[in-house]
């Protein structure tokens, strides 16, 4: 029997250490006014614990009903659990915003897959690790795989841009302004990181339509990030996981090229516009991240 084409699963990734720390200015009448640092820590801990207990209680009360809603049950359950995990890591407001950005990114894959006539499963959220969707049928060629892959960063970047524009409508220096700018920054970062040309990241699936050697370049990039992390005295298990999966994915790409060369045959004109779209997304996400970072730095400076 002929071997099935490579079937991708898309997963947005980001580095958990890039989290926004957005304190509320004490001059804000509606802000939190801590009486002392120990008391602030106790209140903050009770707030997070209370949020998690509320989520657990809601899940226990309505979980059975959610399990009966059919194919969306796993998605809703994983979304609630992911919200609890993100709340634990980043707090309720930033955690909810980050979950929304991940959902927007995954919706891009769903929309572009539907445009290509490919049926996909509803996303399963993985907390700080992002989310995944599964293709119910394999792409027919590398072009179709690249189109579905780039849909996530395209729509996800739009979501980050919306967060940035909403931040401009909020009063400068306010909590909402800082929160939305922080979400925009992380949103651009998520999508830029996802464009690294290495499977299982979206960029690896896009760049594979240009050349199977693109994943080798992606391995070099991620290896460089790992070396830089270790040199700075940081350990990033997520990068190690991406590198390990990237090695396996790169080997699989070269095997696929030998066993099913027709899958990678993409017309030159198609390669050109895929390459142009890929480079454009790299530039847009990098520029957006830079602008949001500059504004976030100004916001943090005004609070000090």
Give per-residue pLDDT as tens, 181-226. 999 999 999 999 999 999 889 999 999 999 889 999 999 999 999 9
Lowest-confidence segment of 43-57, 86-100, 112-126, 279-293 by average pLDDT = 43-57
Predicted local distance difference test score (pLDDT) of residue 135: 84
Question: What contacts 24+ positions apart, CB below 8 Å, involve 167-171?
Answer: 167/295
Residue 15 CA to its chain's centroid (Å)? 9
Angle between helices 175-194 and 92-115 (to 10 degrees): 40
Residue 124, domain extent: 9-21+48-303
Look at residue 1 and tell me if it is in a domain. no
Look at residue 27 and tell me if it is in a domain. no
Bridge partner list, 9: 134
Look at residue 32 and tell me if it is in a domain. no
Bridge partner list, 124: 132
This prediction has a pTM of 0.75
Look at residue 29 and tell me if it is in a domain. no
Look at residue 102 and tell me if it is in a domain. yes
Look at residue 3 and tell me if it is in a domain. no
Total number of domains in the chain: 1
Look at residue 204 and tell me if it is in a domain. yes
Residue 41 CA to its chain's centroid (Å)? 29
Look at residue 40 and tell me if it is in a domain. no
List of residues 6+ apart from 198 with CB closer than 8 A: 204, 215, 218, 219, 221, 222, 242, 246, 249, 250
Residue 152 CA to its chain's centroid (Å)? 9
């Amino acid at each position: 029997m002929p071997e099935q084409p490579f079937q991708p699963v898309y997963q947005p990734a980001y580095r958990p250490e890039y989290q926004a720390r957005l304190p509320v200015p004490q001059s804000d009448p509606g802000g939190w006014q801590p009486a002392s640092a120990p008391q602030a820590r106790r209140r903050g801990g009770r707030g997070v614990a209370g949020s998690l207990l509320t989520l657990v209680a809601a899940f226990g009360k309505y979980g059975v009903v959610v399990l009966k809603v059919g194919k969306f049950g796993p998605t809703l359950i994983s979304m609630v659990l992911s919200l609890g995990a993100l709340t634990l890591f980043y707090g309720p407001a930033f955690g909810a915003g980050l979950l929304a950005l991940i959902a927007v990114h995954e919706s891009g894959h769903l929309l572009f897959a539907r445009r290509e006539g490919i049926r996909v499963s509803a996303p399963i959220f993985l907390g700080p690790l992002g989310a995944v969707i599964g293709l119910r049928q394999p792409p027919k060629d590398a072009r179709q795989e690249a189109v579905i892959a780039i849909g996530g960063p395209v729509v996800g970047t739009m979501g980050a841009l919306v967060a940035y524009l909403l931040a401009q409508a909020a009063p400068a220096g306010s909590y909402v302004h800082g929160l939305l700018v922080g979400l925009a920054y992380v949103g651009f970062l998520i999508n830029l990181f996802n464009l690294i040309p290495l499977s299982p990241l979206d960029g690896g699936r896009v760049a594979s339509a240009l050349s199977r050697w693109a994943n080798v370049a992606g391995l070099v990039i991620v290896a460089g990030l790992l070396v830089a992390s270790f040199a700075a005295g940081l350990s990033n298990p997520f990068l190690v996981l991406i590198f390990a999966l990237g090695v396996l994915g790169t080997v699989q790409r070269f095997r696929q090229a030998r066993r099913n060369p027709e899958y990678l045959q993409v017309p030159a004109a198609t390669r050109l516009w895929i390459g142009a779209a890929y480079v454009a997304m790299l530039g847009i996400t990098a520029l957006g991240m830079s602008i949001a970072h500059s504004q976030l730095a100004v916001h943090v400076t005004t609070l000090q």
